[in-house]
């Protein structure tokens, strides 16, 4: 009951705020319907992957809604597929904008869930199901908006390309192929990033535009040794030697860094923290060498990743028999590198900290690409602020840097700036992406339609 009322109120609010959106309720209903159907496909990597079937369903939906069949392509890749739908602009001189997302999801074991992860359920004001948050609902709402804009006769001057990857959650092969294919684009709007925060009382707190991601890297440390009988120890032991180096790395902190994006982020979130944390953020923004501020932020797991590169030991292995001197010991150091810093530089710094030529370092990273931050372009931030202003007037908007990687990485690596701009608001305590009982509040749905229509129109009219 409460949830229905909430949805109704949200619809009304959107309609009064934007008279031109008379079709919002129909598009919102369509968006929810598409999302529910999408969730029913088990688009998980491995045997039985239904991503190709999901892509086929979306193509049929887009074509039924006015896209020419030739303008929607599905490209199979290994056990998955990606979809690209093109809405040509009237001015061929303008480079298109990409609406980027993914249609695969993280594995979900039905036995562990309260409800079947692949049966969408709307209950208590939430859409439940694998992909409800990450990110089938987002994709469905963008699609419903595009179809609504087509229906209303909108003619974009700049082309719009909807690109949905099929393995973003795993190997990102389709993500890299799509970015390569679309490298002549003006920018990518990543609807799997950015987004809004609801306070625990349900009030919208703030909205962030994702403009940067840290670079993921894995470095292997290896010590080898001739080994021998454990009854005749030598002075040098591969496991001991590696351990000594790991202890040094464990105690090391990379020089903290501040970028225009993290500066904007800290300024935005500082007023919402405890006085101590807020003061540390302000002090860090004023002086990123402020030791007291650094200590406070570094001790907070939510913010330690925002103040610079971090590296941690994630795996170790060594030795080959209980009664033999180890011939080999290895460790994996996982790093999240501040945008603009090269992985090779970080690895060299780690080797310097280990200060032992017997410890060999190698970059064993797979499926990652170092990228710089995307510039905070006025056209993009202006369009996002205008769109957000229509649905959540007065909510603070600022940039953010993600500590994880998304499809944005692939666009940035081919020179296309990419921005996380999902309009979905969620409470911290409701965020179960990749986890159990994933859910998203459905009061977002009509607002998201209004937002997408405003954003896409502004950037392509």
Residues lying near Zn ion in the complex (CB under 5 A): 134-135, 192
At its nearest, how many Å lie between Zn ion and the CB of residue 338? 22
At its nearest, how many Å lie between Zn ion and the CB of residue 329? 36
Nearer to Zn ion, 424 or 456 (CB): 424
The 3-class secondary structure across the chain, one letter per residue, is: CHHHHHHHHHHHHHHHHCCCCCCHHHHHHHHHHHHHHHHHCCCCCCCCCCHHHHHHHHHHHHHHCCCCHHHEEEEEECCEEEEEEEECCCCCCCCCEEEEEECCCCCCCHHHCCCCCCCCEEECCEEECCCCCCCHHHHHHHHHHHHHHHHCCCCCCCCEEEEEECCCCCCCHHHHHHHHHCCCCCEEEECCCCEEEECCCCCEEEEEEEEEECEEEEEEEEEECCCEECCCCCCCCHHHHHHHHHHHHHCCCCCCCCCHHHHHHHHHHHHHCCHHHHHHHHHHHHCCCCHHHHHHHHCCCCCHHHCCCEEEEEEEEECCCCCEECCEEEEEEEEEECCCCCHHHHHHHHHHHHCCCCCEEEECCCCCCCCCCCCCCHHHHHHHHHHHHHHCCCCCEEEEEECCCCCHHHHHHCCCCEEECCCCEEEHHHCCCCCCCCEEECCHHHHHHHHHHHHHHHHHC
Nearer to Zn ion, 36 or 130 (CB): 130
At its nearest, how many Å lie between Zn ion and the CB of residue 408? 11
At its nearest, how many Å lie between Zn ion and the CB of residue 102? 6
At its nearest, how many Å lie between Zn ion and the CB of residue 39? 14
At its nearest, how many Å lie between Zn ion and the CB of residue 168? 6
Nearer to Zn ion, 7 or 98 (CB): 98
At its nearest, how many Å lie between Zn ion and the CB of residue 31? 18
């Amino acid at each position: 009951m409460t949830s229905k009322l909430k949805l109704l109120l949200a619809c009304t609010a959107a309609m009064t705020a934007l008279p031109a959106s008379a079709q919002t309720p129909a598009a919102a209903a369509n968006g929810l319907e598409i999302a529910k159907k999408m969730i029913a496909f088990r688009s998980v990597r491995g045997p039985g992957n239904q991503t190709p079937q999901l892509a086929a369903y979306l193509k049929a939906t887009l074509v039924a809604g006015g896209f020419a069949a030739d303008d929607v392509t599905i490209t199979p890749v290994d056990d998955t597929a990606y979809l690209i739908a093109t809405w040509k602009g009237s001015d061929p001189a303008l480079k298109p904008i990409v609406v980027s997302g993914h249609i695969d999801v993280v594995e979900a074991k039905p036995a562990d869930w309260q409800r079947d992860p692949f049966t969408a359920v709307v209950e208590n004001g939430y859409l439940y199901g694998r992909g409800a948050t990450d990110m089938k609902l987002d994709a469905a709402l963008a699609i419903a908006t595009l179809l609504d804009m087509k229906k209303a006769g909108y003619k974009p001057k700049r082309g719009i390309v909807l690109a949905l990857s099929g393995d973003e959650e795993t190997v990102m092969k389709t993500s890299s192929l799509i970015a390569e294919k679309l490298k002549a684009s003006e920018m990518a709007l990543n609807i799997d990033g950015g987004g809004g925060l609801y306070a625990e009382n349900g009030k919208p707190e703030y909205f962030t535009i994702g403009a940067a991601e840290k670079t993921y890297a894995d470095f292997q440390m290896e010590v080898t040794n001739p080994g021998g009988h454990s009854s005749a120890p030598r002075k040098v032991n591969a496991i001991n030697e590696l351990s000594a180096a790991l202890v040094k790395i464990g105690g090391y902190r990379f020089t903290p860094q501040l970028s225009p994006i993290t500066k904007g982020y800290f300024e935005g979130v500082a007023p919402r923290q405890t006085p101590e944390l807020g003061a540390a953020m302000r002090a860090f923004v004023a002086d990123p060498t402020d030791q007291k501020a650094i200590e406070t932020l570094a001790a907070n797991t939510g913010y330690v990743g925002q103040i610079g590169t971090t590296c941690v030991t994630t795996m170790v292995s060594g030795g080959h028999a209980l009664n033999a001197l180890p011939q080999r010991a290895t460790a994996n150091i996982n790093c999240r590198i501040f945008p603009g810093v090269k992985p090779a530089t970080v690895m060299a710094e780690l080797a310097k900290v280990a200060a032992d030529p017997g410890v060999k370092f190698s970059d064993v990273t797979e499926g990652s690409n170092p990228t710089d931050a995307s510039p905070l372009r006025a056209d993009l931030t202006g369009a996002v602020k205008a769109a957000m202003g229509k649905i959540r007037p007065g909510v603070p908007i600022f940039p953010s840097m993600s500590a994880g990687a998304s499809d944005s990485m692939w666009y940035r690596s081919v020179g296309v700036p990419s921005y996380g701009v999902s309009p979905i608001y969620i409470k911290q305590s409701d965020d179960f992406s990749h986890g159990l009982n994933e859910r998203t509040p459905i009061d977002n749905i009509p607002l998201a339609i209004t937002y997408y229509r405003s954003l896409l129109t502004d950037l392509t009219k």
